[in-house]
Amino acid sequence: MSKNLIEVEGLSKHFDLGKGRILKAVSDLNFQIREGETLGMVGESGCGKSTAGRTILRLYEPTAGAVRFNGTDITKLSGGKMKAFRRDMQMIFQDPYASLNPRFTVTDIIGEALDIHNMAGSRAERKKRVEELLDMVGLNPDHATRYPHEFSGGQRQRIGIARALAVNPKFIIADEPISALDVSIQAQVVNLLQDLQGRLGLTYLFIAHDLSMVKHISDRVAVMYLGKMVELADSEELYANPRHPYTQALLSAIPVPDPEVEANKERIVLKGELPSPINPPSGCPFRTRCPIATEKCALEVPALVEVQKGHFAACHYA
């Protein structure tokens, strides 16, 4: 088994909203990502998955905990050293419209990282590298002088990928990279991400709410609920044998594009809605909607424990 590239230990991010209200976006995350693997992270809006991604990259300063990259705790690094680490860790964003500066040409968007890290000696070298990157993501290098708004959503997302690749990173966080794209385009981007992983030996944290896509691309999958990780397992195992009642409900809620499956499916429809992360329920965060909750769930917070080799779940009854 390959070594851990990323180790997240007790990572929390709380936002102070003033007046004593604290939004616990992410609480006490513990997990590892192995070199060359894709870890999927799923959950519904407000579960803290995007905050987790941004905190791991230190776009938000963590409230507590450590993020080790190849053994170095990056949460303790000062400006200059952190900047050097930023070359190794990159991010692909959700919104292909908002994530590209509308006043930059494609060359400048992709070239910016090269400028920041002084990686291009001359303008010609910079141009050559940008064209190489565009080609790598399947875009026409002749379009390098165009502006983002001239591209389609899928093409823009490729520009975002090219930008992330410019500094030769080892680890990429893809934060809902396909949820804003059309179905016919999603597969293009996912295939591209998989190809690049094979060619460049990348490690991914793939954040999404689309469970079928996460299953497709990930080696292991983590399920988040209300800022906590409730289940973590190999993707095949998680889908075949979900242990946490939330994961079970989530899996059954996905409509499958096959009328035969849909006609015969008994769907677990959860009651109620996501509680507010400002005022989360006591004990297990899921107990307010859980079909099997008991008194114990209100009193004790279930820990994420290994219920089977490599399969973790945070439920008293898993």
Partner 1 sequence: MQPILQVKDLQVSFQVRGGEVKAVRGVNFEVGKGEAVAIVGESGSGKSVTAQTIMRLIPSPPSIIKSGEIIFQGNDLTRKTDKEMEAIRGKDIGMIFQDPMTSLNPTIKVGKQITEGLIKHQNLSAKEAKEQGIEMLKLVGIPNAESRFNQYPHEFSGGMRQRVMIAIALACRPSLLIADEPTTALDVTIQAQILNVMKDMQKKFGTSIILITHDLGVVADMCDRVVVMYAGKVVETGTKWEIFQNPQHPYTRGLLRSMPRLDQKKNEKLIPIIGTPPDLIKPPAGCGFCARCDEAMRICEQVDPEVTQLSDTHMSRCWLLHPMAQEVKSS
Partner 2 sequence: MEQVDEKNVVEHLKPENFQKIGVDEKQAEIIQRESLSAWRDSWERLKSNKFAMTGLTVLILIVIMAIIGPMISPHNYYSNDLYNTNQPPSADHWFGTDDLGRDMFVRTWMGARISLLVGVAAALIDLFIGVIYGGIMGYFGGRVDAIMNKFSEVLYSIPYLLVTILLLVVLEPSLWTIILAIGITGWINMSWIVRGEIMQLKTREYVLASRSMGAGSARLLFRHLIPNAMGPIIVTLTLTVPNAIFSEAFLSFLGLGVQAPIASWGSMINDALTGWMYYPWRMLFPAFFISLTMLAFNIFGDGLRDALDPKLKK
Q: Which residues are CB-contacts of 282 (< 8 A; sequence separation ≥ 6)?
A: 298, 299
State the Cα torsion 285-266-294-229 to the nearest 10°.
-30
CB of 139 to partner 2, least distance (A): 6
Q: Does 191 bind partner 1 (CB under 8 A)?
A: yes
DSSP structural state of residue 118: T
Residue 27 binds which entry of partner 1, partner 2, none, with Cβ cut-offs from 5 to 8 Å by kind?
none
Q: Which member of 79, 149, 269, 309 binds partner 1 (CB under 8 A)?
A: 269
Give yes or no for a contact between 165 and 117, defined as CB atoms under 8 angstroms apart: no
Q: Which member of 213, 221, 229, 232 binds partner 1 (CB under 8 A)?
A: 213
Residue 61 binds which entry of partner 1, partner 2, none, with Cβ cut-offs from 5 to 8 Å by kind?
none
Q: Does 255 bind partner 1 (CB under 8 A)?
A: yes
Site for partner 1 in 10-39 (CB under 8 A): none
First to last CA, the chain: 27
Distance (Å, whole) CA 69 – CA 45: 27
Residue 112 binds which entry of partner 1, partner 2, none, with Cβ cut-offs from 5 to 8 Å by kind?
partner 2
Which positions lie near partner 2, rule CB under 8 A? 54, 57, 59, 82-83, 86-87, 89-91, 93-95, 98-103, 105, 112-113, 116-117, 138-140, 143, 145-147, 149-151, 155, 160, 163, 167
Whichever of 165 and 293 has its CB closer to partner 2, that residue is 165
Residue 266 binds which entry of partner 1, partner 2, none, with Cβ cut-offs from 5 to 8 Å by kind?
none
CB of 49 to partner 1, least distance (A): 12
State the Cα torsion 88-180-14-89 to the nearest 10°.
0
Residue 303 binds which entry of partner 1, partner 2, none, with Cβ cut-offs from 5 to 8 Å by kind?
none
CB of 43 to partner 1, least distance (A): 9
Half-sphere exposure of 62 (CA within 13 A, CB side): 25
Site for partner 1 in 116-175 (CB under 8 A): 152-155
Residue 188 binds which entry of partner 1, partner 2, none, with Cβ cut-offs from 5 to 8 Å by kind?
partner 1
Q: Does 187 bind partner 1 (CB under 8 A)?
A: yes
Q: Is 211 exposed, middle or buried (0-12, 13-18, 19+ CB in 10 A)?
A: buried
Question: Which tokens in the block code for residue 156?
Answer: 């823009």
Instruction: Could you list the beta-strand ranges (E) of 128-283.
Output: 171-175, 203-208, 220-225, 228-234
Residue 273 binds which entry of partner 2, partner 1, none, with Cβ cut-offs from 5 to 8 Å by kind?
partner 1
CB of 237 to partner 2, least distance (A): 32
Half-sphere exposure of 102 (CA within 13 A, CB side): 4
Give yes or no for a contact between 56 and 8, defined as CB atoms under 8 angstroms apart: yes
The DSSP H or E segment spanning 5 is strand 4-18
Q: Which member of 149, 257, 264, 309 binds partner 1 (CB under 8 A)?
A: 257
Instruction: Could you list the beta-strand ranges (E) of 135-202.
Output: 171-175
Site residues for partner 1 per CB under 8 A:
44-45, 152-155, 182-188, 190-191, 194, 209, 211-213, 215-216, 235-236, 239, 249-251, 253-262, 267, 269-270, 273-274
